[in-house]
Amino acid sequence: MSNKNYDVAIIGGGPAGSTTGTLLKKYNPNLEVLILEKAKFPRDHVGESQLPQISAILQEMGCWDKVEAANFPIKIGATYRWGKTSQLWDFDFLAATKFQDEPRPAEYKGQRKQTAFQVDRSVYDNILLDHAQDNGCEVRQETAVTKVDIETDQVKNLHLSNGEQINARYYIDASGHIGVLRRVLGVETTIPTRLQNIAIWDYWTNAEWADEIGVGGTRVQVMSLAHGWIWFIPLGPTRTSIGFICPAEHYKKLKKPPEDIYQEALKSEPRISELIANATSRGKIETTKDWSFLSEKLVGENWFLAGESAGFADPILAAGMTLTHVSAKEAAYTILELEQQKHDATWLKHHYEDNQKRRIKQHIRFADYWYAANGQFSDLQKHCRDIAKDAGLKLTPEEAFRWLSQGGFTNDILGQAVIGGFDPTSMKQVMQRFAQKDSSWEISGYNIFKLNLEGAKQEDLPVYNNGRIEKIKSYVKDEQRLPLTGFYAALVKILERTSDIQQISALLKKSLTSQYSPQHTQVAFNHALQCLEVMVSEGWVTAKIDKKKPKLQLSTPTEGALIHAHS
Ligand SMILES: Cc1cc2nc3c(=O)[nH]c(=O)nc-3n(C[C@H](O)[C@H](O)[C@H](O)COP(=O)(O)OP(=O)(O)OC[C@H]3O[C@@H](n4cnc5c(N)ncnc54)[C@H](O)[C@@H]3O)c2cc1C
């Protein structure tokens, strides 16, 4: 059989594969990119509830409009039964009351930049793979990679199910949890958590949507039971994904067929039972127990792991697809930049790996907190205590914030304090709900803020923008990094001039007024203060009090615009 040569060969046509391929071709149409997919699309896949960060990548890929045209429900947020009490609460990406009615398909602007999609993966993955093809990738479905030839850290050839052999200059493992290259290359994986669950799910026809917000808007439902939780994700006007997740250990103890466990779980949850009263299930249960893991190595001589082949965090925070799309984007940018030969190859590869590992680790840690703090798991109390203990987590809101903020808020989106869609204010509100105790601000009650760069080194970090990677400076101390971009850069600049909060506020407002419209300046100012909170809890800034001067007075209302009792 023939031997064909490509610049980049991608194993897997899921979101990781199609995102990498599309962005490679968008920014360097001369590259010969091949995507190999063993299945025939459309094919079902779990992982349907997205975060708004994905929408920006879809727009960059040039396919947000195509996804919008599929008329998927617009995710405004989620309703949870989770925490100390059984009261329902919402976490919204934008205030539901402010969501304006507008006809669909809409454009990627205004309010839609703050929303996400709830996607039927058989349709979504198909749109993305076709889009990769429309952008010049050669896509071969029903073509599995059956064997990989390697020589130490180098991939030499791929053998395909049709007997063909493929050579490429770069190889991407986008094969999902199977991890075709990861396994052949013997890449070790670690399981940095005791959170090992099992999921059982099916698809339903004619379930009611729990909420109908404006045109096409809704919330996913996350409902705790005594020994697990249920996801309820409308995927279209009539199709809904409903799954049940519980600890793998508990599942074994139940000694029942998964079908029975699933049906009993749904029946025992009053809200879900009501929503499916007139619905029918497909009657084909699916399960998975491959759970949280992290690959030790994500990049080699001529290969990259992207998407779920690199690692997996429990789906409670619906971050998997975001981690997937972001890693695929950064893999594409890294290859594009390697081709440019402007930056050192080792630096580029090191940061690709470091970025993904930090994010996946932090999302695993975030999920640990989420489970450990759920008082609704009445049958899993010891399990939850063990997770908290193993993660080194004390469940007071202050300790938890410090634990989560370490690296989390500075790694997800450089320059902003946010992780998985939560900024420090929303995180504190969640902690208040979980602990039923006020969550204080570290910066409140102080008025002198001194930059503390003792022991910090400087390092260049990559910024991924418009198809190019640029270097920005960052301070690094132990595992922490303080990227000198966005609000962090503005604060460092100001803190180099003054430590007095009144002057800090005045300088900050002056700088933000020149960059933002009047209505956005206050929002930006609040966000900058949240970055200051993160800098204090990470030790980049020390806070003191001068009794003669006014202090910062901050508090977190339990009922906020975005996190509030369900309405
Ligand atoms: C129970 C559960 C619930 C989840 N819920 C959510 C959620 O609500 N929100 C969210 O954001 N994420 C969620 N996720 C995570 C989400 O599913 C993944 O992040 C996402 O599917 C990863 O995309 P990928 O492209 O890396 O892999 P995949 O989507 O798995 O795609 C990999 C592709 O590679 C192909 N392939 C495999 N082997 C070969 C081979 N040898 N040759 C050629 N092709 C091959 C496969 O056929 C497949 O199409 C969930 C995951 C699980 C397990």
Which string of DSSP letters, residue by residue, matches 175-221?
Answer: -GGG-HHHHHTT--EE---S--EEEEEEEEESPPPS--BTTTEEEEE
Ligand 1: distance of its center to the CA of 14 in Å? 6
Using CB atoms within 10 Å of the CB of residue 410, give its burial: 0 to 12 exposed, 13 to 18 middle, 19+ buried. buried
321 in ligand 1 pocket by Cβ < 6 Å? yes
Residue 192 Cβ inside 6 Å of ligand 1? The answer reads: no
Q: Which of 308, 309, 323, 366 to mutate to test the pocket of ligand 1 (most atoms within 8 A of CB)?
A: 308
Q: Evaluate: CB of 316 within 6 angstroms of ligand 1.
A: no
Cα-to-centroid distance, 312 and ligand 1 (Å): 10
Ligand 1 centroid vs 308 CA: distance in angstroms? 6
Q: Considering only CA atoms, which residue is closest to atom 30 of ligand 1?
A: 176
Q: Cα dist. 112→71, 251, 451, 465, 527 in Å?
A: 13, 40, 37, 21, 20
pLDDT at 262: 98
Predicted local distance difference test score (pLDDT) of residue 560: 82
- Which is it for the CA torsion 235, 241, 90, 409, positive or negative? negative
* pLDDT number for residue 137: 98
Which residues 6+ apart lie within 8 Å of 375 measured at CB?
83, 84, 85, 434
DSSP 8-class letter at 276: T
Report whether residue 314 contacts ligand 1, using a CB cutoff of 6 Å: no
Nearest to 266 by CA among 194, 207, 329, 328: 207
pLDDT at 2 (0 to 100) = 65
Q: What is the whole-number distance in angstroms between the Cα of residue 320 and the centre of ligand 1? A: 9
Residue 551: both structure tokens together: 């202090």
Q: Which token pair is 165? A: 């052999």
CATH class held by domain 3-338:
alpha beta
Report the residue among 20, 45, 122, 292 best suited for mutation to probe ligand 1: largest number of ligand atoms under 8 A from its CB. 45
Output the tens digit of pLDDT for each of the chain's 567 residues: 567 999 999 999 999 999 999 999 999 999 999 999 999 999 999 999 999 999 999 999 999 999 999 999 999 999 999 998 999 999 999 999 989 999 999 999 999 999 999 999 999 999 999 999 999 999 999 999 999 999 999 999 999 999 999 999 999 999 999 999 999 999 999 988 888 899 999 999 999 999 999 999 999 999 999 999 999 999 999 999 999 999 998 999 999 999 999 999 999 999 999 999 999 999 999 999 868 899 999 999 999 999 999 999 999 999 999 999 999 999 999 999 999 999 999 999 999 999 999 999 989 988 999 999 898 998 888 888 888 888 787 778 888 888 887 777 887 888 888 888 889 988 889 888 888 888 889 899 999 999 999 999 999 999 999 999 999 999 999 888 999 999 999 999 999 999 999 999 999 999 999 998 887 898 899 999 999 999 998 999 999 999 999 888 888 888 888 889 998
Q: Is the CB of 144 under 6 A from ligand 1?
A: yes
The preferred substitution site among 34, 61, 178, 246 for testing ligand 1, maximizing ligand atoms within 8 Å of CB, is 178
Secondary structure (3-state) at 113:
helix
Is the CB of residue 178 below 6 angstroms from any atom belonging to ligand 1? yes
Distance, CA 37 to ligand 1 centroid (Å)?
12
Which atom in ligand 1 lies closest to the alpha carbon of residue 39?
Answer: 47
Sign of CA dihedral 13, 18, 19, 24: positive
Where in the chain are the domains? Answer: 3-338, 394-560
* Burial zone of 339 (CB within 10 Å; 0-12 exposed, 13-18 middle, 19+ buried): middle
- Quote the ligand 1 centre to 49 CA distance (angstroms): 13
Q: Is 145 in the pocket of ligand 1 (CB under 6 A)?
A: yes
CA of 10 to the centre of ligand 1 (A): 14
CB of 36 shorter than 6 A to ligand 1: yes
Q: Closest Cα to atom 6, ligand 1: which residue?
A: 47
Q: Is 115 in the pocket of ligand 1 (CB under 6 A)?
A: no
536 CA distance to ligand 1 centroid (A)? 38
Which residues fall within 8 angstroms of residue 155, CB to CB, at 6 or more apart? 148, 149, 168, 171, 181, 185, 300, 301, 302, 303
CA of 217 to the centre of ligand 1 (A): 25
Q: How far is the CA of 16 from the centre of ligand 1 (A)?
A: 8
Relative to the CA of 201, which ligand 1 atom is closest?
Answer: 1
Pocket test for ligand 1, best of 10, 23, 46, 125 (most atoms within 8 A of CB): 46
- Ligand 1 lined by 421 (C-beta under 6 Å): no
Answer yes or no: is the C-beta of 12 below 6 A from any ligand 1 atom. yes
Nearest alpha carbon, ligand 1 atom 16 = 47
Q: Which atom of ligand 1 is nearest to the CA of 322?
A: 11
The per-residue pLDDT for 503 is 96
CB 16 near ligand 1, within 6 Å: yes
Q: What's the CA-to-centroid distance between 287 and ligand 1, angstroms?
A: 14
420 lines ligand 1 (CB under 6 A): no
Going from the C-alpha of 268 to that of each of 14, 226, 264, 373, the distances in angstroms are 34, 10, 6, 22
Q: Is 308 in the pocket of ligand 1 (CB under 6 A)?
A: yes
